[in-house]
């Protein structure tokens, strides 16, 4: 289980408010000058990349190396092992999508978002990414997958390696469920092997954990992961450096739900609502990364309550002509290239180009109009 608080052990910071708020943003480490400089570079290069690279991730990544990687042959490579073991859905395509199609395909192992900065998800746009930690769990995850399918939502699952390795029946079942997550279009990321708090471990042990978890991914999927979430959200400059040495982007969260601490779906939804309101009020954050755990039944049901809430809000926002909540499956919308910044630097808030947002919003608006009119007609 994770605490709802992502935190750095070497730079403790006061939560913005006491309980029950479970998820203050991690501290912002770099100065404003860095952010301004990066935004200037993005402004200068964004137009060129918008013209040359269709996917929005490229618009956050002005480095030549990153652009080359985006355009490279591995951008949407699906491993032979994975292809052989699961029936890939039609949306797992091999070419990159144009901007207007930027919903899909997903980047299953997060390679497109590799080597980024620490992502909290803080954004002024109504972009929402659901993430689920600690699974899979054969008693709860299958129902969640059905609920996500019904909602048309693709999420990121941060997998605990020891749940899917080994030969006992439970581990075999859960490895199968993990492959099912990929088959249904979700992303999978690394949540270590046995879920120990990284800052308590020697550096050699952390590197062993990374190696071991990547071997497990190779065994189960035929691919290594590129997205990483530290257990409990705890990390330090030392652990960030070690994780970065393996090429990961660290994904934290800004929208906690407190789901390890509560026992009902209603409480999951209530906590999320409070955090969500507070993020907007205090920080102007209208979207971000939601943290849930697919190991709890109340979290599985809580997802649906949060999703239904967002859809209801969209009906009202549609009437107001306002930006709609856009449930995304692409961490690159929150992604900033490292560009020489030290490991562990928190990414500047996402600066998604207007053209990308407009294309996405047009799609969401169309779906929202259909859905809300159907609801109203009942
Ligand atoms: Zn966890």
* Residue 189's CATH number: 3.20.20.370
| Residue 44 Cα to ligand 1 middle (Å) | 39
Would you call the peptide bond into 183 cis, given omega within 30 degrees of 0 as the criterion? no
| Residue 317: alpha-carbon gap to chain centroid | 24
- Residue 346's beta-bridge partner residues? 118
The residue among 108, 112, 130 whose CA lies nearest residue 121 is: 130
Tell me, what's the pLDDT at 75? 28
Residue 53 lies in a domain: no
How confident is the model over 10-55, as pLDDT tens digits? 332 222 222 233 333 333 333 333 333 333 333 333 332 232 222 2
What whole-number distance in Å separates Cα of residue 304 and Cα of residue 310? 10
**Quick check: is 289 in a domain?**
yes
Q: Identify the pLDDT of residue 331.
A: 86
H or E stretch including 156? strand 156-159
**Greater confidence, 259 or 377?**
259
At residue 178, the 3 state secondary structure works out as: helix
Residue 67 located in a structural domain: no
Name the residue range of residue 373's domain. Answer: 77-377
Distance (Å) from CA 112 to ligand 1 centroid: 23
Q: How far is the CA of 163 from the centre of ligand 1 (A)?
A: 12
Predicted local confidence at residue 19, as pLDDT: 29
Per residue in 179-221, pLDDT (tens digit) is 999 999 999 999 999 999 999 999 999 999 999 999 999 999 9
Sequence-distant contacts of 141-148: CB under 8 A, at least 24 apart = 141/174, 141/177, 141/181, 141/294, 141/295, 142/177, 142/180, 143/297, 143/300, 144/294, 144/299, 144/300, 144/303, 145/177, 145/180, 145/181, 145/184, 145/186, 147/300, 147/303, 147/304, 148/184, 148/186, 148/303
Q: Is residue 1 part of a domain?
A: no
Q: Please, are residues 63 and 335 in contact by the beta-carbon 8 Å criterion?
A: no
What's the pLDDT at 60?
A: 28
363: in domain: yes
The pair of three-digit structure tokens given for residue 303, joined into one six-digit string: 């997802």
* Out of 83-87, 322-326, 358-362, least confident range: 83-87
What's the pLDDT score for residue 116?
Answer: 76
* Per-residue pLDDT, 272: 98
**Tens digits of residue pLDDT in 215-262:** 999 999 999 999 999 999 999 999 999 998 999 999 999 999 999 999
Question: With pLDDT > 90 as the criterion, what percentage of the chain qualifies?
Answer: 57
Residue-wise pLDDT for 124-170, tens only, equals 999 999 999 999 999 999 999 999 999 999 999 999 999 999 999 99
Coil, strand or helix at 81: helix
Q: Which of 107, 365, 105 is nearest to 226 (CA)?
A: 107
Which is more confident, 58 or 358? Answer: 358
State the pLDDT at residue 11: 34
Looking at the DSSP bridge assignments, the partners of residue 251 are 119
* Within a domain: 106: yes
Catalytic residues: 133, 293
More confident residue, 301 or 112: 301
Sequence-distant contacts of 104-108: CB under 8 A, at least 24 apart: 104/154, 104/185, 104/329, 105/76, 105/185, 106/154, 106/185, 106/186, 106/187, 106/329, 106/330, 107/75, 107/76, 107/187, 107/330, 107/332, 108/78, 108/182, 108/186, 108/187, 108/188, 108/223
Distance 192 CA to ligand 1 centre (A): 9
CA atoms within 13 A on the CB side of 84: 7
Q: Which pLDDT score is estimated for 336?
A: 66
Residue 16 lies in a domain: no
pLDDT surpasses 60 at 80: no
Of the pLDDT bands very low, low, confident and very high (cuts 50, 70, 90), residue 8 is low
pLDDT band at 318 (very low <50, low <70, confident <90, very high): very high
- 1: tokens are 């289980």
What does pLDDT average to over the chain? 76
Q: What is the per-residue pLDDT for 71?
A: 27
- Of 87 and 328, the one with more pLDDT: 328
CA of 191 to the centre of ligand 1 (A): 7
User: How would residue 117 be classed by pLDDT, with cut points 50, 70 and 90?
Assistant: confident
**346: burial class by Cβ within 10 Å (0-12, 13-18, 19+)?**
buried
**pLDDT given at position 337:** 63
Q: How confident is the model at residue 95 (pLDDT cuts 50, 70, 90)?
A: very low
Residues measured by CB to lie within 5 Å of ligand 1, the ion: 2, 133-134, 231
Number of domains in the chain: 1
In a domain, 109, yes or no: yes
Does the pLDDT of residue 70 top 70, yes or no?
no
What local confidence, expressed as pLDDT, does residue 6 receive? 55
Q: How remote is the CA of residue 81 from the centroid of ligand 1, in Å?
A: 27
């Amino acid at each position: 289980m994770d605490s709802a608080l992502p935190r750095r052990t070497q730079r403790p910071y006061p939560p913005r408010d006491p309980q029950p708020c479970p998820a203050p943003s991690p501290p912002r480490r770099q100065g404003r000058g860095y952010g301004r400089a990066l935004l200037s570079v993005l402004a200068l290069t964004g137009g060129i990349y918008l013209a040359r690279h269709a996917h929005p991730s490229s618009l956050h990544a002005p480095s030549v190396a990153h652009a080359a990687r985006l355009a490279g042959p591995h951008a949407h490579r699906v491993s032979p092992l994975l292809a052989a073991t699961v029936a890939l859905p039609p949306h797992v395509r091999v070419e990159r999508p144009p901007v207007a199609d930027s919903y899909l395909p997903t980047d299953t192992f997060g390679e497109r978002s590799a080597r980024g900065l620490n992502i909290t998800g803080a954004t002024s746009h109504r972009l929402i990414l659901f993430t689920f930690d600690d699974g899979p769990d054969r008693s709860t995850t299958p129902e969640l997958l059905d609920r996500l399918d019904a909602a048309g939502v693709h999420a990121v699952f941060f997998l605990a390696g020891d749940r899917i390795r080994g030969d006992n029946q439970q581990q075999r079942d859960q490895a199968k469920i993990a492959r099912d997550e990929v088959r249904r279009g979700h992303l999978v990321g690394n949540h270590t092997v046995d879920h120990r708090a990284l800052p308590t471990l020697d550096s050699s042990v952390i590197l062993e954990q990374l190696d071991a978890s990547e071997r497990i991914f190779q065994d189960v999927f035929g691919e290594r992961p590129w997205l990483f979430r530290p257990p409990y959200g705890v990390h330090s400059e030392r652990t960030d450096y070690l994780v970065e040495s393996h090429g990961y982007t660290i994904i934290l969260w800004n929208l906690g739900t407190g789901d390890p601490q509560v026992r009902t779906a209603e409480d999951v939804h209530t906590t999320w609502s409070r955090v969500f309101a507070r993020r907007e009020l205090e920080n102007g954050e209208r979207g971000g990364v939601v943290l849930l755990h697919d190991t709890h039944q109340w979290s599985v049901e809580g997802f649906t309550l949060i999703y239904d809430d967002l859809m209801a809000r969209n009906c009202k926002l549609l009437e107001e002509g306002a930006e709609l909540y856009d449930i995304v499956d692409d961490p690159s919308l929150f992604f900033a290239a490292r560009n020489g910044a030290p490991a562990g630097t928190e990414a500047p808030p996402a600066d998604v180009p207007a053209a990308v947002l407009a294309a996405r919003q047009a799609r969401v608006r169309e779906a929202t109009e259909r859905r809300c009119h159907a609801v109203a007609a009942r």
